[in-house]
């Protein structure tokens, strides 16, 4: 009888010890600023969260949908029962009217990707030409230095634009150099009369882009045929290439790839900073169609990835290998993240944790 009781207790307690994982719980996921004045400048809000799990919570990445929104967050691991916060700041400058911005939060929690929302209405201030066109490039002014395509569905073309004004007092010919092959513009050969204003249109063709997820490129404005590849004439081009899973048929959902991993956090132990340590994650596809690991991203230089993309057939497994080179790190404990972007509709973004100690 005593053996049966002990066996039953072990069965009940086994999941508790076998599946230690962080759980992120936000007090609020949406904040309405209401009506704000552009003249008053930036506004901020704190999204407070609690780790309701039984393992340390690590926020690996927080990304806003556009450059007007800036996130800052708790970088250190949040222990079970403790709280952290993500501070989101919105810059209303040059953005009158309604706004609705999303912030993507990636972590090692059970729900690996959360979305926060800020919204409101900006009352514009009376603007002078030099405040509308804030960026000076030689004899012209632009309203911004970044061309933001935001989310682009794979297979589609999306356009965005910049406003340009000729402030030189004479005719100016404008073109753009250094564009990647998947971005085009109508500004090539554009001629602006003195004091003329016009919009330069850019198009992002996702069919020609080899990348999924965040894509950032540079290009340079050329005036009167004189090309200067300096920061003064530099443009930033940004997009986020995504898939629209909402259009999947029932058959496509039934045969979809399914990512499964025995562990998503790997502890490499303690080692000397002069020693390199290898690590391996095992990825299984328990679905039918091939699982595409479309992007493997790690912004930390001390982690060297062996692959950038992977394809795993249904019913098969593959290894994601990496090396930790901590020679530039001081003694202490380190938590780093590797992000996968996949074609599994239920695991589009997967955040893997890598933990180690340097002696």
Alpha-carbon span 137 to 145, nearest angstrom: 10
Q: Which of 343, 316, 169 is nearest to 256 (CA)?
A: 343
Q: Please name the residues in contact with 245: beta carbons below 8 A apart, sequence gap of 6 or more.
A: 345, 348
Reduce the DSSP state of residue 158 to 3 states and report it.
strand
7-40 pLDDT, tens per residue? 444 444 444 444 689 999 999 999 999 999 998 9
Sequence-distant (6+) residues with CB within 8 A of 13 are none
Q: Was domain 250-358 assigned CATH 2.60.40.10?
A: yes
Q: What is the pLDDT of residue 169?
A: 86
Q: Report the pLDDT value the prediction gives residue 12, as an integer from 0 to 100.
A: 46
CA distance 239 to 343: 18
* pLDDT value for 125: 81
CATH topology of 20-123 equal to that of 250-358? yes
Q: Which fold has domain 129-242?
A: Immunoglobulin-like (2.60.40)
Q: What percent of the chain has pLDDT over 70?
A: 93
pLDDT at 156 over 60: yes
For 107-121, write each residue's pLDDT tens digit: 999 999 999 999 999
Tokens of 152: 């682009």
Helix (H, G, I), strand (E, B) or coil at 308: coil
Closest among 295, 319, 323 to 309, alpha carbons compared: 295
* In the chain, where the domains are located: 20-123, 129-242, 250-358
CATH number of 20-123: 2.60.40.10
Which residue has tokens 């993500």? 86
Cα separations (Å) of 218 from 7, 111, 147, 183, 233?
Answer: 63, 34, 10, 11, 10
Task: Count the Cβ atoms, other than its own, within 10 Å of residue 223.
Answer: 19
Residue 128 has pLDDT above 80, yes or no: no
| Predicted TM-score (pTM) of this structure | 0.57
Non-local (6+) Cβ contacts of 168 within 8 A are 138, 139, 140, 194
């Amino acid at each position: 009888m005593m053996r049966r009781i002990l066996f039953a207790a072990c069965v009940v307690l086994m999941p508790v010890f076998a599946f230690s994982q962080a759980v992120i719980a936000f007090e609020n996921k949406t904040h309405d600023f209401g009506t704000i004045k552009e003249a008053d400048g930036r506004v901020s809000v704190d999204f407070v969260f609690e780790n309701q799990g039984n393992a340390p919570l690590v926020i690996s990445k927080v990304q806003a949908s556009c450059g007007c929104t800036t996130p800052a967050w708790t970088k250190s691991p949040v222990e079970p029962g403790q709280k952290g916060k993500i501070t989101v700041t919105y810059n209303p400058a040059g953005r009158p009217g309604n706004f609705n911005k999303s912030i993507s939060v990636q972590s090692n929690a059970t729900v690996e990707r959360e979305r926060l929302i800020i919204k409101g209405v900006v009352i514009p201030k009376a603007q002078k030409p030099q405040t509308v066109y804030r960026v000076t490039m030689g004899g012209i002014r632009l309203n911004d230095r970044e061309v933001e395509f935001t989310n682009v569905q794979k297979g589609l073309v999306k356009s965005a634009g910049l406003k340009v004004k000729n402030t030189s007092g004479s005719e100016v010919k404008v073109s753009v150099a250094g564009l990647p092959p998947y971005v085009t513009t109508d500004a090539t050969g554009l001629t602006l009369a003195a004091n003329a204003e016009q919009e330069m249109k850019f198009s992002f063709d996702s069919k020609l882009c080899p990348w999924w997820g965040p894509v950032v490129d540079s290009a340079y404005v050329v005036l009167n045929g004189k090309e200067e590849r300096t920061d003064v004439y530099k443009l930033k081009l940004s997009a986020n290439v995504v898939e629209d899973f909402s259009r999947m048929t029932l058959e496509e959902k039934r045969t979809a790839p399914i990512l499964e991993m025995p562990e998503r956090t790997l502890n490499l132990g303690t080692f000397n900073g002069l020693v390199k340590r290898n690590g391996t994650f095992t990825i299984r596809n328990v679905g039918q169609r091939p699982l595409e690991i479309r992007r493997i991203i790690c912004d930390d230089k001390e982690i060297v990835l062996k692959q950038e993309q992977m394809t795993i057939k249904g019913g098969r497994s593959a290894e994601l290998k990496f090396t930790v080179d901590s020679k530039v790190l001081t003694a202490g404990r380190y938590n780093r993240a590797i992000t996968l972007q996949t074609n599994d509709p239920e695991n589009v973004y997967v955040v893997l944790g890598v933990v180690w100690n340097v002696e």
